[in-house]
């Protein structure tokens, strides 16, 4: 019985593998050579995005302006995923807290050098994150990258063992939730604002400004800000949900 | 393809292999972080700094942090399930016991 079961499984795996490898090999043979990308759309955007939108980071122009609608979809994927994780973790936590309470054990402490390193590097990382969010239209980076860097600043605090700060953060979970929701809604509102002002969804409705300045590229600044807030809030929410006061107390 | 690119591609391949073959979850999270770091460098060398940024922070900070926290949480649940079994089964034991089993 068991061997027949595993034979069927093996057969299914083999068929799948052959199809996958064959299809993959077939697809790869038709790819352009390494570093020889030729496509009209890419070439057009590379050439015209900066003159048209006065923003020097054309990647940012593409994600939030030309393809803003796609980015909206991606943002909501993250939003929904985080909501799912948080709902799941809160249910587990609720069930647990009805059970035993492991009080009276002392908190674990990170080594002194790790604590200092973590505390010292948190602020510079946060500044870099803020810079990357606000300068997305000028230099590589943007809302998503900057938002994750902002989150990393707080992760460093966690590594340093300043658990109490993070627990206080979790006590303000509403703030994180609000940040995530406001950020996610912000990009949608921006799209609809374009629809109202110009008749086209996600069309820029703010003046472009002059190239190289902070407020150039029209609404890119606002879009980056919204996504930055959403991403930082979303990841922090997952991390803080994973933190469990009892978990922190018992580890040593 | 220059030498730097070939070195980085090789390193990424090696790190990917190591990530798959490392069986201990905590160690695997750290190795996955190193893979993220190398991928970030590779994207940077391929002149995609925006993607490199995301990969660097997500791959080498966010994902390992989440994995480590998740592993710690699972182990804590298993430990509390074991404790609950010792103490002649208080009310919450059935729930946390089944959770510990799922996590295996």
pLDDT digit string, tens, across residues A200-233: 888 888 887 777 777 777 888 888 889 898 888 8
Residue A95's pLDDT band (cuts 50, 70, 90): low
Mean pLDDT (whole number) for A157-175: 72
Average pLDDT for A2-7: 71
What does the longest C-alpha to C-alpha distance in chain A come to? 74
| Among the ranges given (A38-47, A127-136, A222-231, B78-87), the one the predictor scored with the smallest mean pLDDT | B78-87
Per-residue pLDDT, A15: 96
How does residue A112 score in pLDDT terms, banded at 50, 70 and 90?
Answer: confident
* Whether pLDDT at A161 is above 80: no
Each residue's pLDDT, cut to its tens digit, for chain B (104 residues) gives 689 999 999 999 999 999 999 999 999 999 999 999 999 999 999 988 889 988 988 898 888 888 888 888 888 878 888 888 776 555 554 444 444 444 44
* pLDDT score of A247: 54
**From the candidates A49, A100, A251, which should be mutated to test the interface with B, based on the most B CB atoms within 10 A?**
A100
pLDDT (0 to 100) of residue B90: 52
Closest CA to A203 of A65, A67, A46: A65
Q: Is residue A19 scored above 90 in pLDDT?
A: yes
Q: Are A182 and A229 in contact (CB under 8 A)?
A: yes
How close B22 comes to chain A (CA, Å)? 23
Distance (Å, whole) CA B32 – CA B13: 12
**Residue A64 to residue B27: CA distance in whole angstroms:** 38
For A224, the 3-state DSSP assignment is helix
Read off the pLDDT band of A104 (50, 70, 90).
Answer: very low
| Percent of chain A surpassing pLDDT 70 | 84
Asked if A226 has any chain B CB less than 8 Å from its own CB, the reply is no
Per-residue pLDDT, B38: 95
Q: What is the mean pLDDT of chain A?
A: 80
| Contacts made by residues A19-22, CB under 8 angstroms, sequence distance 24+ | none
Give the minimum alpha-carbon distance from A250 to chain B in angstroms, rounded to a whole number.
8
**A residues 68-97 lying closer than 8 A (beta carbon) to B:** 92, 95-96
Q: How many helices (H) and strands (E) does chain B have?
A: 5, 0
Structure tokens at B104: 């295996």
ipTM of the complex in this document: 0.74
pLDDT at A29 over 80: yes
Sign of the C-alpha dihedral, residues B62, B68, B70, B73? negative
A98 in helix, strand or coil?
coil
A42-51, A124-133, B7-16: the lowest-pLDDT one: A42-51
Residues of A in contact with B66 (CB under 8 A): 238-239, 242
The pLDDT value given to residue A96: 58
A251 touches chain B (CB under 8 A): yes
Residues 13-52, chain A: which have Cβ within 8 Å of B? 34-35
pLDDT band for position A163 (cuts 50, 70, 90): low
- Cβ <8 Å between A247 and B62: no
Taking contacts as CB-CB distances below 8 angstroms, the residues of chain B near A57 are 50
Q: What DSSP state is assigned to residue B61?
A: I
Residue in A99, A144, A247 closest to B54 by CB: A144
**DSSP letter for each residue of A157-191:** HHHHT-HHHHHHHHHTHHHHHHHHHHHHHHHHHHH
Enter the DSSP assignment of B59: I
CA nearest to A156 within chain B: B61
Smallest Cα–Cα separation from A152: which of A172, A177, A127?
A: A127
Please give the pLDDT value at position B53.
87
């Amino acid at each position: 019985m068991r061997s027949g079961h595993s034979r069927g499984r093996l057969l299914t795996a083999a068929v799948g593998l052959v199809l996958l490898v064959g299809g993959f090999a077939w697809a790869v043979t038709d790819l352009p050579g390494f570093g020889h990308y030729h496509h009209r759309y890419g070439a057009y955007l590379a050439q015209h995005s900066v003159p048209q939108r006065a923003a020097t980071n054309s990647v940012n122009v593409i994600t939030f302006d030309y393809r803003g609608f796609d980015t909206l979809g991606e943002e909501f994927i993250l939003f929904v995923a985080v909501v799912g994780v948080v709902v799941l973790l809160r249910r587990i936590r609720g069930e647990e807290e009805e059970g035993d309470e492991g009080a009276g054990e002392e908190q674990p402490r990170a080594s002194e050098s790790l604590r200092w390193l973590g505390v010292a590097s948190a602020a510079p990382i946060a500044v870099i994150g803020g810079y990357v969010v606000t300068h997305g239209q000028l230099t590589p980076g943007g809302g998503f990258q900057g938002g994750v860097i902002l989150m990393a600043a707080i992760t460093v605090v966690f590594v340093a063992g300043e658990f109490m700060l993070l627990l206080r953060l979790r006590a303000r979970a509403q703030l994180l939730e609000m940040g995530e929701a406001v950020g996610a809604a912000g990009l949608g509102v921006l799209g609809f604002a374009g629809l109202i002002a110009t008749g086209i969804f996600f069309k820029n409705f703010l003046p472009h400004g002059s190239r190289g300045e902070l407020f150039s590229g029209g609404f890119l600044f606002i879009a980056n800000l919204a996504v930055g807030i959403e991403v930082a809030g979303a990841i922090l929410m997952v991390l803080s949900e994973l933190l469990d006061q009892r978990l922190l107390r018992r580890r040593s | 393809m220059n030498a730097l690119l070939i070195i980085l591609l090789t390193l990424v391949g090696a790190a990917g292999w190591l990530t798959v073959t490392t069986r201990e979850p905590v160690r695997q999270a750290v190795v996955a972080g190193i893979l993220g770091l190398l991928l970030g460098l590779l994207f940077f060398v391929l002149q995609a700094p925006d993607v490199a940024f995301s990969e660097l922070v997500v791959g080498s900070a966010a994902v390992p942090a989440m994995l480590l926290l998740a592993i710690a949480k699972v182990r804590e649940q298993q430990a509390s399930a074991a404790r609950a079994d010792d103490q002649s089964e208080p009310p919450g034991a059935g729930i946390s016991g089944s959770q510990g089993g799922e996590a295996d």
